[in-house]
Chain A
Amino acid sequence: MLRKKSINRFEKLQYFSLVLPGLILFTIGLIVPMLLSFGYSLTDWNGLAPTFSYIGLENYRRFFSDTFATQAWNFTIKFTIWNTIIQNILALLFAVVLNSAIKGEEIYRTILFVPCLFSAIIVGFVWLRMFSNVLPALNSLLGTDINFLLFGSAKTVLTGLLIANNWQWIGYWMLIYLAALQSIPNELYESAAIDGTTTLQKFRHITLPLLAPALTICIVGITTGSLKMYELLVTSTGGGPGRASTSIVYHIYNTAISGRQYGYGSAVTVLFVFILLLVALLQLSVLRKREVQL
């Protein structure tokens, strides 16, 4: 009995020693900065001065009356909703098509996947050039007058960013859906075929329920990624025209760093992390209920 206890303790020690490096990095890289950030959010520090004053929850109160923060949130929410819908539908659609044993499936898969290997900084730069130079040149070739300058107007900048972001990430989520589709046993479809079900019925009653885990991963991943959008904006629109495409992370960076309002920027960051967690937990709890296990 004593020997069993000491073996268990030894095993636990082994597991702990394996987890420890990751835990240390997690604490240093995430927990400590978060705590420091919360501390700074209670001050009026500008990021430069050697001294600052404690102002309590004033920065948090200010956030709720900050029209620029509200504007940034509105843009981020709109972008997130549209991005989540479009990316999920198109990624699933492409996965279903690629799963149907079409010719050249590997080439299409590569073409769709490669853009996600680029940095968002490069993607932003490329699509700025596409919208301002390459695509408008088509008008001269075709004799048309299509407005390709999507980044140049507050009314169309969201559309332009959705195109750029979806171009980059659809392939990545498509692979997740493809792997999930390929893990569904064929016998289920064969049985359904014998029972005389249509393709749409098979998709609704077999494919979708068994895709639920993949749906959970993709929806949560796309939502949190969209909420954190920043790099794409740096090289494409710069948050403009005006503030038309300023995301909440872009606003935080501008406020805390360029604007030298480190305390207020930290408060917005803390609120943002809290909202991210809330959104992720909410999605997980709703989506997990729908998951079906074979």
Chain B
Amino acid sequence: MKNVSKSFIFILLVVFLCSTTIFGAPQKTTVSILAGISTTDDGIQDIITAAVAKKYPEISLQWEIHEWSDNFHPRMQQYIQTGLPDIIIGKAQDVATYGGQGLLAGLNGKSYLDNILDAAVPGVTIDGEIYGMVYNCLYQGVYYNRKMFTENGLEVPATHAELADVIRKLRAQGITPFATHMVDTWSIGNVVMQFAINDVFAQTPDWGDRFRAGKVSFATSPEYKKCYEYMKLLYDNTWTRETFSLPQIDCDTRMVLGQAAMKVSGSWSIQNFLTIDEDYDFGIFPFPNQSGDAKLIFEPNMTFMKSATTKNSAAVDKVFAVITGDKEAAVEFYNLSRTASMLKGVSPTFPNPSQKDIDKYAAEGKLIDANLGNNQLQWGGFQDENAKDIASWLQEMITLDEALKAADSRRANSKP
């Protein structure tokens, strides 16, 4: 009798477990995401997960997050062999790299694209097909301490002569003109590309293609040589002894504490500035170029892409619809990351002291897309390697000519 009862209870348990599995929780679709982000974008996963869960509880998101400049591309290389995740989050320039390999799904005709600003579309389009959704953008230029400029009677420089004058006056007051953190080689690469966008690509948009065709070179280009020399100008007017040891957070802290007047950077510094001092008053202006008509650089940043081989296409479209349609979530993210919106009718609400400068340059038509350069010369294996040569030159390990020739030696590796 005891044995019969035990068997009966056991059978009941088995039936219960099976029914829970078959008829229990509703089937969820898991959408996998590989995200290559900057440190300022950390938190995007929580915002998007919550927004998607609210609208589509049957969709669950599986995140894998990496630093874009370090591990994102190696992971992409691995996944290209084993199968890409459903959604890839990178930068707009990644569309040229991966879209060109047939790895991304075209998004033409999708209704959620109507939520994206028109200016964000050309940079993610290849041969008429849109392969990415740009979510936010960064502004790059010279961030300056507005109070310090006012107190020292300085005007925003538009030419090199005016910049030299500003540097001279700052030095006379014992103020370090530029804040830099060259221990991060990526910052050298970014700054040199900022210079090149206004001095090289603004005049010759296809300079990269001409470079690969052998028609131009770094060694013989007076414009590119000038860009390298601007880097030397920064190096000679910063905390030279410390710049190759100083992490970004320390550099930004010194800037906010008034130890430097300017920093050639991007919106990624705003989060640090306002975390250190929420009342820090700063502005932005484009680094002057040779022709005196430099424009403020905007860089389409976080870009959502869909894998060409995803088995969850419908679910991915739903996720994209939420990302572009949920304005509350978008504002929450823009305020967290201190970046600008690429969605129509959505603006961040965080106080951005540099916004009035951005609006002024936008109104004057003085904005230029960073992808003008980034889509011509790839970052990994080219721009970052050139940055190391520049660092070697600044440390007097090689000459300027050797640094320029080293860039030419990587010609075959320059195409995004």
Contact = CB atoms under 8 A, between A and B. Distances in A.
Do A and B come together as binding partners?
Answer: yes
For chain B, what secondary structure do more than half of its interface residues adopt (helix, strand, loop), or is it mixed?
A: helix
B122 interface: no
A242 interface: yes
Contacts of B243: 152
Contacts of B388: 239-240, 242-243, 246
Nearest to A132: B245
B73 interface: yes
B413 A260 contact: yes
Given A48-B101, A152-B243, A238-B183, A258 B380 contact: yes
A240 B183 contact: yes
B63 interface: no
Given A132-B250, A238-B184, A240-B391, A151 B245 contact: yes
B77 A47 contact: yes
B384 A258 contact: yes
A48 B80 contact: yes
Contacts of B398: 242
A221 interface: no
A257 B73 contact: yes
Contacts, number: 98
Nearest to B243: A152
Contacts of A154: 392, 395, 397
B381 interface: yes
A175 to B, nearest CB: 33
A242 B402 CA distance: 13
Contacts of B250: 132-133
B205 interface: no
A52 B80 CA distance: 15
A65 B275 CA distance: 49
B392 A152 contact: no
A238 B384 CA distance: 12
Interface string A138-176: 000000000101011110000000000000000000000
Interface in A235-261: 237-244, 246, 254-255, 257-261
B381 A240 contact: no
B347 interface: no
A4 B250 CA distance: 75
B403 to A, nearest CB: 9
Given A48-B77, A132-B242, A259-B385, A242 B397 contact: yes
B182 A241 contact: yes
A133 B76 CA distance: 36
B391 A242 contact: yes
A18 interface: no
A240 B185 contact: yes
A132 B254 CA distance: 14
A200 interface: no
B185 A238 contact: yes
10 contacts: A132-B246, A149-B242, A238-B183, A241-B244, A242-B388, A242-B395, A242-B398, A244-B397, A260-B381, A261-B381
| Leading 3 A-B pairs by shortest Cβ distance | A242-B392, A259-B381, A152-B245
Interface of A: 47-50, 128, 131-133, 147, 149, 151-154, 237-244, 246, 254-255, 257-262
Given A241-B244, A258-B381, 19 more contacts: A47-B80, A49-B101, A50-B101, A128-B245, A131-B245, A149-B244, A151-B183, A152-B244, A152-B246, A238-B184, A238-B185, A240-B244, A241-B395, A242-B389, A242-B391, A242-B395, A243-B388, A254-B381, A258-B384
